[in-house]
Amino acid sequence: MEGIFFTLSFRVVNFFHPLLTKEGIFCTLPYEVVNFFHPLLTKEGAGGGLFNMTDLFNRSEMKRTRQSLRNDATFAERVLWQSLRGSQLMGVKFRRQCSIDSFIVDFYAPRLRLAIEVDGISHEGQTAQDRDTWRQKIIENYGITFLRFSDVEVTSLPEVVTGKIAEVIQEMLKRS
């Protein structure tokens, strides 16, 4: 696996080796180093790259933030949720405002490891876009597929958005 690197949060890396990080910093480590400290973090490990749900997903310290985001969902998020809730889309269960590590994604399908973000006005501007890109790369390093749609796409063309999501789901189900 030469040449493959993983970007891991301080929390994950420090758990395995406190000397590798300084608090609050994300670091990139070679595959071999990550696999040495914990084979479950990588796809070749005994766990097939899966994480303990409570260590990585929906951590209790983020519960109030997740609840607040669900209660204050944007119009576009509510529109998309109507198509995703109750396993309506191809029988796949989605969660709303799910935390992954120290981030919260709008929608997440645990079975497929699929995250969906709906970008509104707060995602405009170069700084916000750079942060979104950085955040997405970290989440993708956990083996999660990431889809991103704008508020305008979701509200003006909801059928097209759900069609794109369905295509990705279909492809992911074929591979599994």
What tens digit of pLDDT does each residue of 103-138 get?
Answer: 999 999 999 999 999 988 665 677 878 888 888 998
Domain containing residue 44: 5-50
- Asked if 112 and 138 sit in the same domain, the reply is yes
What is the predicted pLDDT for the residue at 67?
A: 85
CATH of the domain at 149: 3.40.960.10
* Residue 95 pLDDT exceeds 80: yes
- Asked if 123 and 75 sit in the same domain, the reply is yes
Whether this prediction's pTM lies above 0.75 is answered by: no
- Asked if 27 and 63 sit in the same domain, the reply is no
What is the predicted pLDDT for the residue at 65?
A: 80
Q: Which long-range contacts (CB under 8 A, 24 or more apart) does 82-89 make?
A: 83/158, 83/162, 84/116, 84/165, 89/162, 89/165, 89/166, 89/169
- Asked if 118 and 171 sit in the same domain, the reply is yes
- Asked if 46 and 133 sit in the same domain, the reply is no
* Residue 23 pLDDT exceeds 90: no
Other CB atoms within a 10 A radius of the CB of residue 55 amount to: 12
Closest CA to 172 of 147, 149, 141, 155: 147
Binned at pLDDT 50, 70 and 90, residue 34 comes out as: low
Q: Which two tokens stand for residue 160?
A: 């097209």
- Asked if 64 and 148 sit in the same domain, the reply is yes
- Asked if 15 and 79 sit in the same domain, the reply is no
What tens digit of pLDDT does each residue of 41-51 get?
Answer: 444 433 444 44
Number of structural domains in the chain: 2
